[in-house]
Amino acid sequence: MNYLDFLSALPAMLALLGFVIFTMLQGRILHDDISRDIVQKLRKQGTLDVDKYGQMTPAKLRATLDADRVLRAAVDQGDFELLKQTLRQQFLIRLVVYIILVALFVIGTGLYAYQVSRPRPLNISGIRIESGTSAAKGLAVDTDTLLVTCAADGPREDVKVSLENPRTHQRTASVDVSSSDGKVSFPIAAYHHLLTDRKIGAANPLRAVIQSQDHSFVSAETDVRVGITIFLAAQDKSITVAALIDNRLIQDYDFELQIRLPRHRAGAESIAIRKKVVGGKAYAQIDDPKAIDWTGIQVIYLGPDDPRIVRTEIVVDDRLKSLRREPATGHK
């Protein structure tokens, strides 16, 4: 039950609660003490058969007083008129209270039935933008495909999803999906033109816009971090590493990394090269490339920036890869 269902059922629940409370407290609300005093007076006079009249309600007592001469004789005219007036007021109060409670119950039941049965409009909530790779660990990084996720409530409907830069109001081309899908992907090429700040450490705000047939749902702004690509190229006996943004060298960027080069020989320890890169680019020499299994090369970024925004790209010359098939001799 959502909050609209609860609110529609609230009058009926209040009516039931009011009936219980009124039933428990009606003696105080209706001033039944007047009726009880008159009955007690009859009991003291000894004219009232307790077994016959003791358990009567005030309404039955009034009817009995109207019909029973013995009781009428025992109760003076003042008491009788006071009792009639009290019972009349009690009857009117009960009637008004019960009418209100019944009206509340009927209205609440009707509203709840209408709320439950009426067609619900599509509602989309929880819209998030994040990288489609686990390496980002929940961040949105512009070196990755961006994933828009959401939760939909209501009838299934075809919607259009796009990304927007709230500063420039530029948008990507919309993607048509079903509201029940719950996610849609935007490759780098689809949203790259929205990114205006390309400096290291910067971020560009983006938001998701989901357009249904009659409503637009907009996410909160998400800072899409400018990602760093650590590029490694291996050729002959040389390895080149460089830090890039948009395939351009990051000038004056100093960072540290480790290169792991597995050997062909089973059980042999990998070669680990730890490198301090100054100015965004560095080189390393390999004495015996035939000893290396070039298909298993690894690059580990060691800082100084958040590793969640760093991606690696490795390119190895095909001639080095083919060395794997040759016997490995003379390893260092």
Residue pair 16/23 in contact by the 8 Å Cβ criterion: no
If we measure between CA atoms, which residue out of 146, 251, 129, 131 comes closest to residue 199?
A: 251
Q: What is the pLDDT of residue 62?
A: 62
Same domain, 140 and 220: yes
**Strands across the sheet with 255-261, in order?**
271-277, 255-261, 298-303
Query: Does a structural domain hold residue 295?
Result: yes
Greater model confidence, 212 or 38: 212
Residue 52 has pLDDT above 60, yes or no: no
Q: Could you write out the DSSP letters of every residue in 238-260? A: EEEEEEEETTEE-TT--EEEEEE
Residue 103 has pLDDT above 90, yes or no: no
Cis previous bond, 121, omega within 30: no
Query: Does a structural domain hold residue 332?
Result: no
Q: Of the candidates 185, 204, 225, which is a domain's last residue?
A: 225
Kindly report, residue by residue over 138-180, the tens digit of the pLDDT: 899 999 999 999 998 888 889 999 999 999 999 999 999 998 8
Question: How distant is the alpha carbon of residue 271 from its chain centre?
Answer: 47
Look at residue 210 and give its three-state secondary structure.
strand
Q: Of the candidates 117, 133, 150, which is a domain's last residue?
A: 117
Same domain, 151 and 80: no
Kindly report, residue by residue over 248-301, the tens digit of the pLDDT: 999 889 999 999 999 888 778 888 999 999 999 999 998 888 888 888 899 999
Same domain, 106 and 141: no
Same domain, 21 and 89: yes
Number of domains in the chain: 3
Same domain, 20 and 105: yes
Same domain, 64 and 133: no
Greater model confidence, 249 or 96: 249
Query: Does a structural domain hold residue 331?
Result: no
Q: Could you write out the DSSP letters of every residue in 104-147? A: HHHHHHHHHHHHHHSPPPPEEEEEEEEESSGGGTT-EETTS-EE
Q: What is the pLDDT of residue 84?
A: 67
Give the mean pLDDT of 20-44: 60
Same domain, 11 and 106: yes
Query: Does a structural domain hold residue 330?
Result: no
Q: Which two tokens stand for residue 218?
A: 């907009």
Residue 243 has pLDDT above 90, yes or no: yes
Look at residue 269 and give its three-state secondary structure.
coil
Residue 46 has pLDDT above 90, yes or no: no
If we measure between CA atoms, which residue out of 259, 241, 238, 260 comes closest to residue 250?
A: 241
Q: What is the pLDDT of residue 180?
A: 87
Same domain, 82 and 149: no
Same domain, 7 and 113: yes
Q: What is the pLDDT of residue 245?
A: 95
Dihedral sign, CA of 316, 317, 319, 320? negative
Secondary structure of 157-225 in HEC code, one letter for each residue? CEEEEEEECCCCCCECCCEEEECCCCEEEECHHHHHHHCCCCCCCCEEEEEEEEECCCCEEECCCEEEE
Domain containing 134: what range?
123-225
Q: What is the pLDDT of residue 66?
A: 62
Greater model confidence, 36 or 310: 310
Strand 158-164 vs strand 175-178: parallel, antiparallel, or unpaired?
A: antiparallel
Q: What is the pLDDT of residue 54?
A: 53
Same domain, 136 and 111: no
